[in-house]
Amino acid sequence: ATHRWNGARRRQPLAPAPPRHAPAARAGRFLACLLALAAGAILMLCVTLHRPEPDASAAALPRPSSPTPISGGGYAVVINTWKRYDLLKRAVAHYSVCAGVDAVHVVWSEPREPPEALRRSVLNCSRGAADVGFVMNRGNSLNNRFRPIQGLRTDAVFSVDDDLVVPCSTLRFAFGVWRSAPSAMVGFVPRIHWPADPRGNTKEYRYGSWWSVWRTGTYSMVLSKASFLHKRYLDLYTNHMLPSIRDYVTENRNCEDIAMSFLVANVTGTPPIWVQGRIFEIGSTGISSSKGHDLRRSRCLNAFASMYGHMPLVASTVKAVDSRTSWFW
């Protein structure tokens, strides 16, 4: 007999179809993984540290101990100026209101003392609680910017040119970096040195400007035109560093910043610290833009290395960055 079923067969429930947006979700997860890997790669930090052994002739050069850590306090701003009174007034007005500034000292090296009208005008530019005063010098030498200052109440000194303006927030961050390493120079303008002939045995060096730092990511100096340093280095520079180095700076009207970098590196055996931050140059171009500038700076490097008996500068690839203003942190 033939048996027929009355009605439709019972069907098994179908498996739910995958949502249409699944490929997009997978792509999103993949993109997130890529971003995570990229962020991890950016956070990798390479440090290149090298401390060369000094030659025997370096034993004659004093190597005082590093400055002791600080316990608190603010910092003094030391402005180096030369016949740019409008720029000087703007610099004093700006730095006098930055948080943490205890005093503003103007290094005066012109043949004549500042006229009373100019003195009052500069002092009246102060808009904050910081004291403002002049540091008078008889002779015109770039070494004057590193002369010890009587009555300095802070360990930290921010050395700056009269045509450079560093925003107060950026300055506050750099001061925090310096407090973590008070024996180091901490600044915004990095420079590099390297052997003139890396494959040879001759101990000659070349000076590398900003573009060399940008290309290699390496530096061994931060210029004193915008940098923090311990006040003790002012005494070491003026009273303990080789007089022949100060004589060279005076005669050539150049390289006092390189001389200070040599001094600090020779004392500490460590590199400076480059702080990333925007600074503003409000004056005209200086000697750094003149023809043959790098060649003259290279001569300074070799002259100072010869006087020291070795090359004290130490290279680094470390850069201090305020993560609050960076997209990747």
Contacts of 313 (CB under 8 A, 6+ apart): 193, 220, 221, 261, 262, 265, 271
More confident residue, 40 or 261: 261
Residue 53 has pLDDT above 90, yes or no: no
Residue 104 has pLDDT above 80, yes or no: yes
Instruction: For residue 301, give the 3-state DSSP assignment.
Output: helix
More confident residue, 11 or 155: 155
Instruction: For residue 263, give the 3-state DSSP assignment.
Output: helix
Q: What is the mean pLDDT of residues 133-159?
A: 95
Q: Which residues pair with 135 in a beta bridge?
A: 107
Highest mean pLDDT among 115-129, 232-246, 282-296: 232-246
CATH class of 75-324: alpha beta
Active site residues: 257
State how far the Cα of 221 lies from the Cα of 150, in Å rounded to an integer: 27
Residue 4 has pLDDT above 70, yes or no: no
Supply the pLDDT for residue 199.
78
**And the tokens for 182?**
């008070």
State how far the Cα of 268 lies from the Cα of 123, in Å rounded to an integer: 37
Supply the pLDDT for residue 179.
97
Q: What is the mean pLDDT of residues 102-125?
A: 93
More confident residue, 64 or 80: 80
| Alpha-carbon distance values, 119 to 23, 29, 88, 261, 282 (Å) | 73, 65, 11, 32, 21
Phi, psi (degrees; rounded to nearest 5) at 192: -135, 155
Q: What is the mean pLDDT of residues 270-290?
A: 81
Residue of 46, 75, 278 whose CA lies nearest to 176: 75
More confident residue, 60 or 173: 173
Q: What is the mean pLDDT of residues 91-96?
A: 96
Supply the pLDDT for residue 288.
54
Q: Which residues pair with 195 in a beta bridge?
A: 205
Q: How confident is the model at residue 45 (pLDDT cuts 50, 70, 90)?
A: very low
Q: How many CA atoms does the CB half-sphere of 67 hold within 13 Å?
A: 26
- Which residue matches tokens 């943490």? 100
Q: What is the mean pLDDT of residues 81-108?
A: 95
Please state, rounded to an integer, the average pLDDT across all residues of the chain.
82
Q: Angle at Cα 64 formed by Cα 61 and Cα 69, nearest 5°?
A: 155
- Which residue matches tokens 């303006």? 165
Helices (H) and strands (E) in the chain, counts: 9, 13
More confident residue, 63 or 309: 309
Q: Which stretches of the chain are DSSP H helices? A: 22-43, 85-95, 116-123, 168-180, 210-216, 232-235, 243-252, 256-268, 293-308
Instruction: Please state the length of the chain.
Output: 329
Q: What is the mean pLDDT of residues 252-279?
A: 96
The structural domains of the chain, with segments of one domain joined by +, span 75-324
Residue 33 has pLDDT above 80, yes or no: no
Model confidence over 204-255: pLDDT tens digits?
Answer: 999 999 999 999 999 999 999 999 999 999 999 999 999 999 999 999 999 9
More confident residue, 287 or 79: 79
Residue 273 has pLDDT above 60, yes or no: yes
Residue of 305, 269, 273 whose CA lies nearest to 193: 305
Q: What is the mean pLDDT of residues 41-63?
A: 39
Phi, psi (degrees; rounded to nearest 5) at 205: -130, 155
Q: How confident is the model at residue 324 (pLDDT cuts 50, 70, 90)?
A: confident
Burial class (CB in 10 A: 0-12, 13-18, 19+), 85: middle
Supply the pLDDT for residue 83.
92
Contacts 24+ apart (CB under 8 A), 240-248: 240/62, 240/64, 242/61, 242/307, 242/308, 244/307, 245/304, 245/307, 246/141, 246/143, 248/300, 248/303, 248/304
- Which residue matches tokens 């005093």? 103
Residue 15 has pLDDT above 50, yes or no: no
Model confidence over 173-197: pLDDT tens digits?
Answer: 999 999 999 999 999 999 999 998 8
The pLDDT > 90 percentage for the chain reads: 66
